Amino acid sequence: MTYSGFLRENARWLAGGFLLTFFSSFGQTFFISLSAGGIREDYELSHGEFGLLYMLATLGSALSLPYVGRLVDFASVSKTVLLIVPALALACIAMGLSGSIILLVVVLYFLRLFGQGMMTHTSLTAMGRWYSSQRGRAVSVAVIGHQAGEAILPVAFISLLLTFGWRETWFLSAGFLLLFALPVIYLLMRVERVPGMDGPEGPKTSARNWTRSEVVRDRLFWLLILGVLAPSFIGTTIFFHQIHLVELRNWAPESFAFAFTVMAVMTFCFALVSGFLIDRFSAVALLPFFLLPLASACLVLAFFTADYSMFVFMGLLGISYGFSSTLFGALWPEVYGVKHLGSVRSLIISMMVFGTALGPGLTGYLIDIGVDYPLQIAFMGVYCLAASGIMLFVSRQLKSRQAAETQ
């Protein structure tokens, strides 16, 4: 089937997956951080203090996700949408109304749980379960919703913020979720796709379906996590402290905001490229390579200060995000099967959310005590290089195991 034919025949499900990841933006760090200045001013918080509160809220969502995320194994995608989209909208309303530190933490918890967590989890679990031989392409279309959000929503939010204020903009976000996102996504996803419609099962399908308890006892799983957590940890950390970074480099804030468009374009392109490569070679085969652009991005950001370096950094980060976002959607059903995919993915996303919680808090603390921020970013780049070597080992081990299981 040609790519255009695939898109045409699967438009409703792909559009639903895309919109779920697009509207997960309301719980993503890049979107919440757009209100960081107003939040820190209203609550009189330092970079480190806000980072700590954000870390606590995100940790809470990470601990909750393995339990809430199992819902996708028992309820249809459309019924899950009827729960998570209104919950995210209520969190947006509460953000606009919040007037105390305690309520702020609770609101951040729900934004992270239902935005970054459940919206993305529901989308990618559906794509992983509903597709097999075309899984890479399906996931690549769904995950570019993240990049569309990163390209469109910051400009829209800032425009509304300057007109109405940051609290009022959160009210408008809630209205958009309830009046547009909820009915449209529900109508698109209310008919479940029949697995196997895209063709016969290929060699990328797991030989058996692992339960979550079996997965956590698998030593290769924990080695995989060393690489899988890196993009979310590093990206969240850098974007959370983007104002501090811009001040250190004496970059124009509007130029850095424009550089997000470069990242979004590169992520979009390489998400689609990754989907094609996954369907051609398998997700396991791509494991040793997805962290190399991220390592390069960190080293550029750490050691170069010229204005052009922000665009080089964003371009490299976009390449890594494109590969990793599609890869992570296709990897888990390929390695561990689809029967318990919601349970397995919720555990993994919980760990990724934990990484996004640890990054801003830890880095904010280090900034407050005087540890050089570019030095921290350089260390992240070195870690990615080391993790790529580990992924090479894991890839070879998984290929050997899959060959033995299919004999």
pLDDT by residue, tens only, the chain of 407 residues:
566 778 888 889 999 999 999 999 999 888 888 888 888 888 888 877 887 888 888 888 888 988 888 888 888 899 999 999 999 999 999 999 988 899 999 999 999 999 988 999 899 888 888 887 788 888 888 988 987 887 788 888 888 888 888 899 999 999 999 999 999 999 999 988 876 555 544 444 555 788 888 999 999 999 999 999 999 888 888 877 777 888 888 888 777 777 888 888 888 888 888 888 888 888 899 999 999 999 999 999 999 888 889 899 999 998 998 888 888 888 888 888 877 888 888 888 788 877 777 777 788 888 888 888 889 999 999 999 999 999 999 999 998 887 777 66
- Residue 114 covered by a domain: yes
145 within 8 A of 17, measured Cβ to Cβ: yes
Domain containing residue 339? 7-192+207-405
- Residue 24 covered by a domain: yes
CATH number at residue 117: 1.20.1250.20
Which residues are within 8 A (CB) of 219 and not within 5 positions of it... i.e. 6 or more apart? none
- Residue 379 covered by a domain: yes
The pLDDT value given to residue 2: 66
- Residue 1 covered by a domain: no
- Residue 88 covered by a domain: yes
- Residue 126 covered by a domain: yes
Terminal-to-terminal C-alpha distance of the chain: 29
- Residue 230 covered by a domain: yes
304 within 8 A of 248, measured Cβ to Cβ: no
Which whole-number Å values give the CA distances from 382 to 38, 230, 293, 298, 377, in the listed order?
34, 11, 12, 9, 9
Which whole-number Å values give the CA distances from 71 to 256, 344, 354, in the listed order?
39, 12, 20
Using left for φ > 0, alpha for ψ between -120 and 50, and beta otherwise, residue 211 falls in beta
The pLDDT value given to residue 200: 47
- Residue 76 covered by a domain: yes
Q: How many domains does the chain have?
A: 1
